[in-house]
A and B are shown apart, each in its own frame.
Chain A
Amino acid sequence: MVRIFAIICPKCEKKFQVHYEDLRHKDIKLHCPYCDHWFMQEESKDIDDRW
């Protein structure tokens, strides 16, 4: 698998996985698949992008 990072949704606080090269450090809102919330990465309280 390509490099991914895990991010916590600031609204529902559930974790989902995102493609690193496509979206990490990009000025693009992410979509929480659990609660349909759109948010910027800076709003998340926890991002795990270890590699």
Chain B
Amino acid sequence: MNKSIHTYLQELNSRLPEDIITVTKPLNPANFDVSAILKHLEAGGLYPLMVFENALNLKGERSSFKLVTNVFATRQRCALALGMEPEQWKLNLSMEYARRERNPRKPEVIAQAGAPVKEVVKTGKDADLREFPIVKHHEMDGGPYIDMTVVAKDPDQGFYNIAFLRNQYKGPQNLGIHMSPRHNWTIFRKNEEKNLPTPVAIIVSHHPAFYLGALNVAPYGVDDYQLIGGIMDEPLRLVPSETWGDRFLVPADAEIVIEGEILPQVREVEGPFGEFPGTYGPQRYRPVIDVKAITHRKDAIYQDVFVGHRDNWILGGIPKEGSVFSAIQGVVPTVQAVHFAISGSCRFNCYIAIDKKVEGETKQAALMAMAQCDFVKNVIVVDADIDPFNEQEVMWAVATRVQPDNDIDIIRNIKANTLDPSLVHDIRGSKMIIDATIPVDRPFADRVNVPEEALARINLGDFISEEKMQCVPRFYDSVRSR
């Protein structure tokens, strides 16, 4: 069976059943009900995948689509999405992603009759966005938003590009769309300069590996359908779209595909929208999508990402870690691990561990991370004895191994991310390198330690009863692993 969100949920239910919570009570996603539940859970340090069986649609009726969200909120579930063991959630996961990214797979084009996403086809006025349980995530959001991936096709070279973009519900056949000046925006501008509409397909739900693959950091010109096939470890099955036939292919095993055109020379007010940094992107004057068709499975699931929270952050971080690691390894072969920390929305704060052999390697590693990924703003390089996945360890290294006047470098006037709220220019900003490594050219104070021999010899159970151990309050003074 080809991979889909259905096959993933079956696998998750079998392997990590405690990770799923199903809610049967009716609720209204467009009135913050889903966000409030996720926020309450988050406050308790809980990040289950949520299935809402009776969510209301935008007509205020019980939607025929189940709503699934928070899929990516733990790295363990992301590991499972790539067919790995949940215990491989650290660097193994990122490195496996990087390995697959280097091995794209050519998609397989199938006939419409065999495509699950064509089980229901609606066009024209029958293609009604109000059928969906679209989520309004945060208080200042301009409306309910579909926040999954948008596919566009380069009009000159014919490759497909896929990106997570915000799509504001504006009417039964209308969406507002915001594109940062990256790949899909480039495609849109190419068409608009010729006064042509840009065909797009919104892939509302698919296997989680599809979305992890969509967040690759490949350069413009790489076909994302091929790359996603590599990440999914199977060729992505494609099928001709309803609107453009075989001139524009869409994923056959998706749950829901919304086909539409971004109109040239048309702008409308859009937003605000709570974005990935955990801050609002402002109201803008942005293009609009004229919806042409909606196709879906009979039992289709509607998927959402809780943007600005772990669901959104972890999803974006994993694809970057492996790519950055590989890039650094080219110049600093002793790199041990790379982590995009939750504290930086898995985008802005990059922690790199190296087994430093000579002075200067630190900065080489940091600069490579910045060059590889323009999201990176603050790089902290630590020694191999520090786990970059443990933020308390990283900050300990900063506290004990950094003299600010000597170990911090600021790089000015460099491309940044437009959604960084601290920028004072549209896209130009600054970046920081903190060298939290021990110098290799002079003696430096060693860390305190308890002898390994003693740790092996002393068994807690011989000294403290299990009953007493159960009563001792537990304090999580380091970053929780999940």
B357, CB-defined interface residue at 8 Å: no
In the bound complex, residues from chain B placing their C-beta under 8 Å from that of A34 are 139-140
One digit per residue, 1 when the CB lies within 8 angstroms of any chain B CB and 0 when it does not, for chain A 1-43 equals: 1111000000000001111011100101111011000000000
Instruction: Name the distance in Å between A6's Cβ and chain B's nearest Cβ.
Output: 9
Q: Which of A1, A2, A28, A33 has the most CB of B within 10 A?
A: A1
In the bound complex, residues from chain B placing their C-beta under 8 Å from that of A23 are 269, 283-285
CB within 8 A of B423: which of A1, A16, A22, A30? A1
Instruction: Name the distance in Å between B432's Cβ and chain A's nearest Cβ.
Output: 18
A18 close to B282 (CB less than 8 A): yes
B116, CB-defined interface residue at 8 Å: no
B142 close to A19 (CB less than 8 A): no
B282 close to A19 (CB less than 8 A): yes
In the assembled complex, 12 residue pairs joining A and B whose CB atoms fall closer than 8 Å, in A order, are A2-B423, A17-B280, A17-B282, A18-B272, A18-B284, A22-B286, A29-B269, A31-B283, A33-B140, A33-B143, A33-B283, A34-B139
Selecting from B33-41, B345-353, B413-421, the interface stretch reads: B413-421
A33 close to B284 (CB less than 8 A): no
- In Å, the complex CA distance between A29 and B285 comes to 11
A28 close to B426 (CB less than 8 A): no
Q: Which of B141, B271, B282, B423 has the most CB of A within 10 A?
A: B282
Given contacts A1-B418, A1-B421, contact A17 B426 (CB under 8 A): no
- In Å, the complex CA distance between A44 and B282 comes to 17
One digit per residue, 1 when the CB lies within 8 angstroms of any chain A CB and 0 when it does not, for chain B 279-294 equals: 1111111100000000
B143 close to A19 (CB less than 8 A): no
Closest to A23 in B: B285
- In Å, the complex CA distance between A2 and B282 comes to 9
- Tally B residues with Cβ within 8 Å of A: 23
Instruction: Name the distance in Å between A11's Cβ and chain B's nearest Cβ.
Output: 16
B422, CB-defined interface residue at 8 Å: yes
Which residues in B have some Cβ–Cβ distance to A below 8 Å?
A: 139-143, 269, 271-272, 279-286, 418-423, 426
Query: How many A-B residue contacts, CB cutoff 8 Å?
Result: 59
In the bound complex, residues from chain A placing their C-beta under 8 Å from that of B419 are 1
Instruction: Name the distance in Å between A3's Cβ and chain B's nearest Cβ.
Output: 8
In the bound complex, residues from chain A placing their C-beta under 8 Å from that of B426 are 2-3, 21
In the bound complex, residues from chain A placing their C-beta under 8 Å from that of B272 are 16-18, 33
B285 close to A26 (CB less than 8 A): yes
In the bound complex, residues from chain A placing their C-beta under 8 Å from that of B418 are 1-2
- Tally A residues with Cβ within 8 Å of B: 18
- 10 closest A-B pairs by beta carbon, nearest first, are A22-B285, A1-B421, A17-B282, A18-B283, A19-B282, A4-B282, A19-B284, A33-B142, A22-B284, A2-B426
- In Å, the complex CA distance between A23 and B279 comes to 20
A17 close to B140 (CB less than 8 A): yes
In the bound complex, residues from chain B placing their C-beta under 8 Å from that of A29 are 269
Instruction: Name the distance in Å between A41's Cβ and chain B's nearest Cβ.
Output: 12
In the bound complex, residues from chain B placing their C-beta under 8 Å from that of A16 are 140, 272, 283
Closest to A4 in B: B282
In the bound complex, residues from chain A placing their C-beta under 8 Å from that of B283 are 16-19, 23, 30-31, 33
Instruction: Name the distance in Å between B3's Cβ and chain A's nearest Cβ.
Output: 37
A28 close to B269 (CB less than 8 A): yes
B423 close to A31 (CB less than 8 A): no
Closest to B423 in A: A1
In the bound complex, residues from chain A placing their C-beta under 8 Å from that of B139 are 33-34
Instruction: Name the distance in Å between A2's Cβ and chain B's nearest Cβ.
Output: 5
Closest to A20 in B: B282
With contacts A19-B285, A22-B284, A34-B140 known, what are 5 further pairs, Cβ within 8 A?
A: A1-B422, A2-B418, A2-B423, A17-B282, A33-B283
Instruction: Name the distance in Å between B386's Cβ and chain A's nearest Cβ.
Output: 32
B269 close to A33 (CB less than 8 A): no
In the bound complex, residues from chain B placing their C-beta under 8 Å from that of A4 are 282
Instruction: Name the distance in Å between B433's Cβ and chain A's nearest Cβ.
Output: 23
Closest to B275 in A: A1
CB within 8 A of A31: which of B269, B279, B422? B269
- In Å, the complex CA distance between A22 and B271 comes to 12
In the bound complex, residues from chain B placing their C-beta under 8 Å from that of A30 are 269, 283
A33 close to B141 (CB less than 8 A): yes
A1 close to B420 (CB less than 8 A): yes
In the bound complex, residues from chain A placing their C-beta under 8 Å from that of B423 are 1-2
In the bound complex, residues from chain B placing their C-beta under 8 Å from that of A1 are 279, 281-282, 418-423
In the bound complex, residues from chain A placing their C-beta under 8 Å from that of B285 are 19, 22-23, 26, 28
